[in-house]
Amino acid sequence: MIELENVSKNFKDKQVIKQVSLEIQNGKITTIVGENGAGKSTIIGLICGYYFLTSGKITGKQVSVMPDADNMPINMTGHNFLSFMCDLKGASMQQALELSAELGIEQALNKKIKTYSFGMKKKLSFIQAYVGESYDAYIFDEPTSGVDVPSAYTMMALIRKLKSSNQAVLLTSHNMDELERVGDYFYILKAGSIARQGTLKEVTELGLANRRYMIDVSVDMKEQLKHFMESAGIKIVSENESYIEIEIMNHMDISEIMKPLLNADITINGFWEERSHLANVAF
C-alpha cells in the first residue's frame, strides 16, 4: 500500500500538485483520472522518486512501475532489456517470456527496441513492470494506449490478476471505458488537486439528486407506458421512438414502479439505470 499525505509539488514558482492525499490500497485497482497536464504523471513521478516533494509525505516507496515506453534503452534487444530488468528486480525471466508470448511479442525479442512499434514498446514496458513481487504497489501509466485491442484486454486481465493476489495497483488511462471496467477507486484530478474521489458509483452519482432509468418499449406500447408513468406521478425526462427516460427520487425503490408496470400488461423489452459516466465528471 502507498499513501500520499498532503503532497504538493512546485516546479520553480508553479505549483503543479496541490495538497493531494490519496491511498493505493492492497487488493484494489486505484485510478487517477484527469486531463493532460492535470498532474497524473507528476504524482507518479513523486511516488517513483523521479521528483522530490515540495511538501507532504509519501508512505511506502517500493514500487514497480511502467514508465513512458518512449524512454526505453532503444539500442538493447527486447530480450536483453527484459533480462536486465528481471535481474535488477530479482524477478523471473521465465515469467517475462511467458508474458511476451501472451502479448504476442516473443518473436520480436531478439530485435533491437528501436525497431519496435509504439505498441510493442508499450507491451515490453508493461511486462517489465508486471514481473517481480514484494512491491508496495504496481504502477501502470497509460498501459494500453497504442496497443491493439486483444492485447489491451489481456493487459487488463493481468492487472486484475495482480489485484486478486492482493497487490496494490495504480492505473492511469485516457480510455474511460477501460477504467470504468477495472477500477475500484477513482481520484479525479483537476489542475493538480483531487476534485472528486470514491468508487465509480460515488464519483459518477455525486451531485445528482435523482436517479434516471431508460425503459425500452415496443412502439405500439409507448403511449400506454407514458400514460402509466404519468398516472403514477413519475416524471418523463425524455423520449424517442422506442425509449422513454424517467426520473425518480433517490429515496424511491425502482421495484415500486416496475412491479405494477409488469402487472399492467405493458411489454417491456428492457430497462437500465442511466448514470453519468466517468468522462462526464472527469472532464
Partner 1 sequence: MKALFKLELRQAFISRNSLIVFAIFIGLAFVFGRYVDFLSPSDLLNSLFLIYLFIGMIVASSLFSGIISNEIETQTIRYVVPYQSRGHILIVKYVTVLIYFFILIGSSILTVLALRRDASIPVQSLLFIIGAYIYSANLIVLISVLCKTEKKSIISAILVSIMLPTFSIMNMLKPSIIFKGLNKLTPYAYIDKSNGFLILIGLAVFMGVITIFVFNRKEV
Residues that bind partner 1 (CB under 8 A): 45, 48-52, 63-65, 67-68, 71-73, 84-85, 87-89, 128
Nearer to partner 1, 168 or 261 (CB): 168
Nearer to partner 1, 48 or 221 (CB): 48
Smallest separation, CB 73 to partner 1 (Å): 5
Residue with cell 403514477: 232
Nearer to partner 1, 50 or 283 (CB): 50
H/E run at residue 237: strand 235-239
Closest to 155 (Cα-Cα) out of 183, 130, 186, 121: 130
* Distance (Å, whole) CA 177 – CA 180: 5
Nearer to partner 1, 72 or 194 (CB): 72
H/E run at residue 126: helix 118-130
Quick one: how far is CA 148 from the chain centroid?
17
Smallest separation, CB 191 to partner 1 (Å): 21
* Distance (Å, whole) CA 221 – CA 266: 6
Smallest separation, CB 101 to partner 1 (Å): 22
Phi and psi at 172, nearest 5°, equal -125, 150
* Distance (Å, whole) CA 229 – CA 130: 52
* Distance (Å, whole) CA 98 – CA 91: 13
Smallest separation, CB 172 to partner 1 (Å): 15
Nearer to partner 1, 65 or 248 (CB): 65
Cα angle, residue 274 at apex, residues 268 and 276 outer, rounded to 5°: 170
Sheet with 243-249: strands ordered across: 235-239, 243-249, 210-217, 268-274
| CB-CB contact of 200 with 180 (8 Å) | yes
Smallest separation, CB 194 to partner 1 (Å): 23
Nearer to partner 1, 133 or 256 (CB): 133
Smallest separation, CB 253 to partner 1 (Å): 49
